[in-house]
């Protein structure tokens, strides 16, 4: 339960704001075109429709010339889409995994809500006679039939088809049954959607994420844990193509060409037994918190944690997450912990310590109430806890959590500030210092929506989430030194207001900025 106690604080600094002398912002690392690609489906127009949960959009791709044709986003009513399906009329529908909504566009281009079975709605498919089916994964595990017109309540086929995940990327088999992988059971099953009969069709996978049939009725399984596509023929598995882990879904076009998506890297590939071709290249796809360790800048990219050399921009390492399987989890923030890294995930509710040389998780704190960021503080971990509106200390040696101070509205980024902590409160527009006794004082107020913060000497740098402004604060003055696009906003009250906050980090004369919507890293030369 959230605490909504807001303390009355003394104003210690009244700062004026200037927009003069903006610095040159340069692109340091260019990322993916899509913020993680989830479900895909070819439409009757021949284009590939690709859903992105974090990007909250559907991207239409011409796979002949590798061109993005159109995007459907929040302005069109598309929110957090995970998968896509077309009916015989050419109408397409999607699942919104975070809200539970199943919606689509009718032939008039009007949005139609088919129903809301609840959070976790993930795979979606139409039968040949235009019956609409969805299943849940990660947040719940049901299988439902929906009325695409939204006139009738969803029909429950199964309340629980598998642990943590019912079915993921589904398709209809040549026998008229609905096929899908059971993520945590390492198998593919089929379902008679009228009788509820379920049977195992294939096994022996690491983490099967999606299945599809080609026009010949051959079954292909995307094994994201093993990073490969597997062909199942006469009950036998054969490796069709090796790619890498972090894969999400697959789709066949009318020519039986196979396409594969990546949720961790944001790419789309054309895949054959002999060749893998990038239709849209990948890279940074959900850039959140950043940190400097050695000569590398580290990016918490939600479904991966990756590092780039600050001298030449080459990728130093990249550790990918496999949903609910990888010990790393889905991280939105990162900071340094001696020679290791602190990873924070409000999505998974954890703080972990990772070795950057091999990706090993050496400490793990789970079950937290929406942690947004963390930093080392007096041999403990200080955590900005959105769910508790607090800064909480954790001691890995004793395992004890202690609330250092509460009364925030939206604590976002916590960093070291001399012998104190500095916290951005996105909800109040303040930066606040906190000492080891838990006393907090306002350092700066009157900001718009402060997210990532960084310090060099007497200067404080802050990213404004709603405006995309990067501000420098020094000697009671606030100046805008650069601008990028504003970040994604929360889709419900259960999420931090910034979703994935834009981070700041300093090395030498450069201020690095994570551009969440641009899926890129920027830098600014600072004096």
Pairing of strands 361-365, 510-515: unpaired
Task: Look up the pTM and report it.
Answer: 0.86
CB 64 within 8 A of CB 277: no
DSSP structure string for 82-133: EEEEE-TTS-EEEEETTT--EEEE-TTS-EEEEE---TTEEEEEE-TT--EE
What pLDDT sits at residue 264?
A: 92
Regions of the chain with pLDDT less than 50: 1-20
The tokens for 287 are 């850039």
What pLDDT sits at residue 15?
A: 31
Q: Give the separation between CA 496 and CA 256, rounded to whole angstroms.
A: 42
What pLDDT sits at residue 8?
A: 21
What pLDDT sits at residue 10?
A: 20
Number of neighbouring beta carbons within 10 Å of residue 492: 10
What pLDDT sits at residue 166?
A: 85
Residue closest to 213 by CA, chosen among 167, 177, 184, 266: 177
Residue closest to 211 by CA, chosen among 253, 234, 183: 183
CATH for the stretch 16-29+285-525: 2.120.10.30
What pLDDT sits at residue 138?
A: 87
Who contacts 129 (Cβ-Cβ below 8 Å, separation ≥6)? none
Residue closest to 470 by CA, chosen among 457, 480, 455, 458: 480
DSSP, res 408: -
Residue closest to 263 by CA, chosen among 125, 137, 140: 137
Q: Give the separation between CA 423 and CA 450, rounded to whole angstroms.
A: 9
Pairing of strands 102-105, 290-293: unpaired
Residue 87: phi, psi to the nearest 5?
-100, 180
| 3-class DSSP string for 476-521 | CEEEEEEECCCCCCCCCCCCCCCCCCCCEEEECCEEEEEECCCCEE
Q: Give the separation between CA 272 and CA 249, rounded to whole angstroms.
A: 15
The tokens for 403 are 């609330």
The rounded radius of gyration (Å) of the Cα atoms in the chain is 24
What pLDDT sits at residue 22?
A: 60
The tokens for 202 are 């294939």
Q: What angle (nearest 5°) sits at the alpha carbon of residue 398, between those of residues 396 and 403? A: 80
Q: Give the separation between CA 434 and CA 525, rounded to whole angstroms.
A: 29
The CATH 2.120.10.30 portion of the chain extends over 16-29+285-525, 40-280
Number of neighbouring beta carbons within 10 Å of residue 244: 16
Q: In the CATH hierarchy, which fold is given to the domain comprising 40-280?
A: Neuraminidase (2.120.10)
Q: Give the separation between CA 76 and CA 269, rounded to whole angstroms.
A: 27
Distances (CA, A) of 193 to 120, 126, 127, 172, 339: 20, 12, 10, 11, 53
């Amino acid at each position: 339960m959230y605490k909504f106690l807001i303390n009355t604080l003394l104003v210690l600094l009244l700062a004026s704001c200037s927009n003069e002398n903006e610095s040159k912002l340069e692109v340091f690392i260019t990322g993916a075109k899509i913020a993680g690609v989830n479900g895909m489906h070819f439409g009757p127009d021949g284009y590939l429709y690709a859903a992105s949960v974090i990007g909250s959009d559907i991207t239409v791709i011409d796979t002949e010339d590798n061109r993005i044709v159109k995007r459907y986003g929040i302005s069109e009513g598309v929110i957090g889409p995970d998968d896509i399906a077309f009916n015989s009329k050419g109408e397409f529908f999607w699942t919104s995994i975070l809200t539970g909504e199943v919606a689509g566009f009718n032939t008039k281009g009007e949005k139609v809500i088919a129903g809301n079975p609840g959070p976790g709605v993930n795979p979606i498919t139409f039968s040949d006679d235009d019956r609409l089916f969805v299943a849940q994964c990660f947040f719940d595990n049901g299988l439902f039939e929906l009325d695409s017109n939204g006139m009738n309540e969803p029909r429950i086929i199964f309340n629980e088809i598998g642990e943590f995940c019912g079915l993921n990327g589904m398709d209809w088999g040549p026998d008229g049954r609905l096929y899908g992988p059971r993520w945590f059971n390492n198998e593919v099953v089929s379902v008679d959607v009228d009788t509820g009969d379920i049977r195992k069709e294939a096994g022996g996978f690491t983490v099967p994420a999606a299945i599809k049939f080609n026009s010949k009725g051959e079954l292909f399984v995307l094994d994201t844990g093993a990073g490969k596509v597997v062909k199942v023929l006469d009950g036998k598995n054969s490796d069709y193509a090796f790619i890498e882990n972090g894969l999400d879904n697959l789709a066949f076009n009318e020519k039986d060409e196979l396409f594969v998506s990546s949720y961790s890297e944001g790419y789309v590939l054309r895949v054959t037994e002999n060749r893998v071709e990038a239709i849209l290249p990948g890279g940074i796809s959900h850039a959140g918190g950043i940190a400097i360790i050695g000569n590398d800048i580290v990016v918490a990219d939600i479904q991966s944690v990756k590092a780039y050399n600050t001298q030449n921009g080459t990728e130093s390492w990249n550790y990918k997450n496999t949903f609910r399987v990888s010990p790393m989890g889905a991280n939105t923030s990162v900071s340094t912990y001696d020679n290791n890294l602190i990873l924070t995930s409000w999505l998974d509710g954890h703080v972990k310590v990772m070795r950057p040389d091999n990706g090993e998780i050496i400490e793990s704190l789970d079950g937290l109430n929406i942690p947004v960021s963390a930093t080392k503080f007096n041999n403990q971990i200080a955590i900005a806890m959105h769910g508790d509106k607090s800064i909480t200390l954790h001691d890995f040696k004793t395992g004890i959590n202690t609330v250092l101070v509460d009364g925030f509205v939206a604590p976002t980024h916590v960093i070291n500030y001399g012998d104190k902590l500095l916290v951005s409160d996105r909800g109040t527009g303040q930066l606040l210092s906190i000492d080891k006794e838990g006393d907090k004082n306002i350092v700066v107020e009157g900001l718009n929506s402060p997210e990532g913060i960084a310090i060099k000497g007497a200067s404080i740098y802050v990213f404004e989430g709603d405006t995309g402004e990067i501000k420098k604060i020094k000697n009671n003055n606030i100046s805008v030194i650069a601008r990028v696009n504003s970040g994604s906003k929360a889709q419900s009250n259960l999420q931090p207001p910034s979703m994935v906050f834009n981070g700041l980090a300093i090395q030498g004369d450069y201020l690095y900025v994570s551009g969440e919507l641009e899926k890129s890293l920027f830098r600014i030369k600072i004096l």
